[in-house]
């Protein structure tokens, strides 16, 4: 008999959204209809949940600050993502976003650790050592700033980010599904 694993018992996994969970666009994801998951990403999140991880999304969303879409549109996009994860049998423990533009000087925009620190306070998870999966240099820098484990996926901007890395040690996977499989192998070993 398989014993159920308590959600979050293995801690959190921090995920970037655009380019990791869903396809990205240089024109921004502005509507729920434009939000399209990358093949295998939603199932990967559900598998991580089933293994006891608590997935948390941490995403820069400067399109709000630039006036490309409203905070309400962002909420609808995030609701669509949450519903997709729920339908696959998973659950996002939290979604955090920074609506500010890069020149705003806020403490929440990646690579600053403000969103992660807020997640730690509100959800009670520690980011120290937690996998942080992203596709941009700012994600990798956030992982270092938060004391997390940086993981790069080749989807989204991942290929161009990988080409920029010269002496940086980081785990690299084809996509979120492959990263999740590797993490699940670690906990089952």
> What CATH number has the domain bearing residue 134?
3.40.50.1000
How far apart (Å, rounded) are the C-alpha atoms in residues 113 and 99? 14
CA 76, 62, 24, 183 torsion: positive or negative? Answer: negative
Q: What is the pLDDT of residue 166?
A: 74
Structurally, the chain folds into a number of domains equal to 1
Residue 168 within any structural domain of the chain? yes
Active site residue 86: no
Q: Residue 156 has what DSSP assignment?
A: T
Residue 124 phi, psi dihedral angles, 5° rounding:
80, 10
Q: Which H/E stretch holds residue 171?
A: strand 171-173
Residue 2 within any structural domain of the chain? no
Residue 6 within any structural domain of the chain? no
pLDDT digits (tens, 9 = 90+) for 39-59: 999 999 999 999 999 999 999
Nearest to 147 by CA among 111, 175, 174: 111
Q: 113 CB contacts (<8 Å, ≥6 apart)?
A: 107, 127, 142, 145, 146
Residue 173 within any structural domain of the chain? yes
Residue 7 within any structural domain of the chain? no
Q: What is the pLDDT of residue 165?
A: 86
Catalytic-role residue among 16, 24, 47, 175:
16
Q: What is the pLDDT of residue 1?
A: 33
pLDDT digits (tens, 9 = 90+) for 103-146: 999 999 999 999 999 999 999 999 999 999 999 999 999 999 99
The Cα-based distances of 76 to 33, 50, 127, 149, 180 in angstroms read 10, 25, 27, 30, 26
Q: Helix, strand, coil: what percent of the chain each, to 5?
A: 40, 15, 45
Range of the domain at 180: 12-188
Average of per-residue pLDDT across 56-85: 98
Report the chain's mean pLDDT, rounded to a whole number: 94
Residue 1 within any structural domain of the chain? no
Catalytic-role residue among 18, 47, 139, 175:
18
**Global confidence as pTM:** 0.94
Active site residue 18: yes
Say which residue the tokens 């050592």 belong to: 129
Residue 3 within any structural domain of the chain? no
Residue 141 within any structural domain of the chain? yes
Q: What is the pLDDT of residue 9?
A: 81
């Amino acid at each position: 008999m398989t014993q159920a694993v308590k959600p979050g018992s293995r801690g959190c996994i921090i995920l970037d959204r655009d380019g990791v969970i869903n396809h990205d666009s240089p024109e921004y994801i502005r509507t729920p209809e434009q939000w399209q998951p990358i093949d295998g990403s939603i199932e990967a999140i559900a598998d991580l949940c089933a293994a006891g991880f608590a997935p948390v999304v941490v995403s820069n969303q400067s399109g709000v600050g630039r006036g490309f879409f409203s905070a309400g549109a962002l909420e609808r996009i995030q609701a669509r993502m949450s519903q997709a994860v729920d339908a696959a049998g998973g659950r996002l423990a939290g979604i955090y976003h920074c609506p500010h533009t890069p020149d705003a000087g806020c403490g929440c925009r990646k690579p600053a650790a403000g969103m992660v620190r807020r997640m730690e306070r509100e959800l009670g998870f520690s980011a120290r050592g937690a996998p942080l999966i992203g596709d941009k240099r700012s994600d990798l820098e956030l992982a270092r700033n938060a004391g997390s484990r940086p993981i790069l996926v080749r989807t989204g901007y991942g290929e161009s980010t990988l080409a920029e890395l010269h002496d940086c040690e980081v785990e690299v996977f084809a996509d979120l599904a492959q990263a999740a499989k590797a993490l699940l192998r670690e906990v089952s070993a």
